[in-house]
Structure formats: C-alpha cells, structure tokens
C-alpha cells in the first residue's frame, strides 16, 4: 500500500512540476514571440522610411511613397499589441517605462500611424511639398518615442 501511495504522490508532484514548467515555458515563448513580432514591425517601418526617403531625395514620383506610407500606418495599428506585460525582458531594447506609461506609449504609436496616413494621402494627391513635410513629421514621431521608450 505504502509504495503505491508514494508512487502516486511522486506522479502528482511530477505532474504539477511539468504543468508549472510548461506554463513558465509558454509564457517566455509568448514574450519572445511578441518581441520578435514587434521587431519585424519596426523593420517594416525602417524599410518603408528608406523607400519614402528615396522619393524625397529624388523629388518624386510621389506615387512611390503611397505603398510604404500605408505599410507604416497598417503596421503601426498593430504594434502596441506586441508589447504585452512582461516583455521588457529578453532580447529587447524596450524600456520598462513603456508599461508604466502605456497610454502615452499608445498615443505616440498613434501619432506615427496618423502621420503615415497623412503622408499616404499627400502622396496619393501627388503633392510633393506635402510628402516632404510629411516625411519630416513622420520621422519626428519615430524619434519622440525612441527617446522616451527605447534603450540605445
Ligand atoms: C510608440 C513608440 C515607437 C514609435 C512611434 C516608433 N518606434 Fe521604433 N522602436 C520602439 C521600441 C520600444 C523599440 C525597441 C523594440 C524592442 O527591442 O523590443 C523600437 C525599435 C525600432 C527598431 C529596431 C528593431 C529591431 O529589429 O530591433 C527600428 C529599426 C525602429 N524602431 C524604427 C522605427 C521607425 C523608422 C519609426 C517611425 C516610422 C519608429 N521606429 C517608430 C518604439 C517606437
């Protein structure tokens, strides 16, 4: 009898540990996935800004700035979701201040999204002056957030 009770107890402990280990593991995985997802998003920002800069440097064609500006706006709309609580740990330059100031962080991401949407409209209208001004304004939203919430 006693040996069965011990075996059962051992099995119960193992099961609990396995479940606990699984939970901790999947949590860490979820955060690593979120970090990867937001970095992928920021890479879309970077590549798209490069494409828009080329349009600015070449003084046109404005139409070439439409797709990259829309890519930034669409990506920005999904970026904050990739900052779940606890994802300031790991391979990340995100500052812990983000989670203490989530409303401000969200507003700063929205500012980038709105600037990108305005830039896409200017590009669609073929207005190069507005594309150039919009490029500067959009770049300003990147820097404003990085200064506050990204480690160098
Ligand atoms: C609302 C805040 C916010 C805005 C707006 C923002 N960024 Fe960032 N950016 C971050 C944070 C935080 C990180 C660090 C992410 C990490 O390491 O987990 C980052 C990282 C990056 C990276 C590095 C990604 C990597 O692979 O490690 C690039 C490139 C980047 N941002 C470009 C941009 C550009 C270009 C813009 C503007 C179009 C922009 N960001 C706007 C907060 C922002």
For residue 28, the model assigns a pLDDT of: 80
> Is 12 a member of any domain?
no
The whole-chain average pLDDT of the chain stands at 90
> Is 87 a member of any domain?
yes
Contact between 72 and 112 (Cβ < 8 Å): yes
For residue 27, the model assigns a pLDDT of: 79
Ligand 1, atom 22, residue with closest C-alpha:
42
> Is 136 a member of any domain?
yes
> Is 70 a member of any domain?
yes
Q: What is the CATH number of the domain that holds 47?
A: 1.20.120.10
CA distances from 108 to 20, 51, 60, 117 (A): 37, 22, 28, 14
* Chain segment 37-65, per-residue pLDDT in tens: 999 999 999 999 999 999 999 999 999 99
Total domains, the chain: 1
* Chain segment 63-115, per-residue pLDDT in tens: 999 999 999 999 999 999 999 999 999 999 999 999 999 999 999 999 999 99
Q: Which residues line ligand 1 (CB under 6 A)?
A: 35, 38-39, 42-43, 45-46, 49, 72, 92-94, 105, 108-109, 112, 138, 141-142, 145-146, 149-150
Nearest Cα residue to 118 out of 52, 58, 60, 54:
52
For the CA of 76, the closest atom of ligand 1 is 5
> Is 113 a member of any domain?
yes
Q: Which of 31, 37, 41, 42 to mutate to test the pocket of ligand 1 (most atoms within 8 A of CB)?
A: 42
Nearest Cα residue to 143 out of 107, 91, 99, 108:
108
**Residue-range definition of the domain harbouring residue 86:** 36-149
Ligand 1, atom 20, residue with closest C-alpha:
42
Cα–Cα dist 17/125, whole Å: 61
> Is 124 a member of any domain?
yes
Q: What percent of the chain has pLDDT over 90?
A: 78
- Provide φ and ψ at 89, rounded to 5°: -105, 145
Nearest Cα residue to 111 out of 83, 148, 138:
138
> Is 21 a member of any domain?
no
């Amino acid at each position: 009898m006693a040996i069965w009770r011990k075996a059962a107890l051992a099995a119960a402990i193992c099961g609990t540990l396995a479940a606990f280990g699984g939970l901790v593991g999947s949590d860490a995985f979820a955060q690593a996935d979120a970090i990867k997802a937001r970095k992928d998003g920021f890479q879309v920002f970077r590549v798209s800004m490069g494409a828009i800069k080329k349009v600015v440097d070449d003084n046109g064609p404005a139409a070439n700035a439409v797709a990259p500006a829309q890519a930034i706006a669409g990506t920005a709309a999904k970026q904050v979701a990739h900052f779940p609580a606890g994802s300031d740990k790991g391979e990340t330059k995100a500052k812990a201040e983000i989670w203490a100031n989530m409303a401000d962080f969200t507003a700063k991401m929205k500012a980038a999204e709105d600037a990108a949407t305005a830039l896409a409209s200017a590009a669609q209208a073929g207005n190069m002056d507005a594309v150039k001004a919009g490029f500067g304004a959009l770049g300003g939203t990147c820097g404003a957030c990085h200064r506050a919430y990204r480690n160098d």
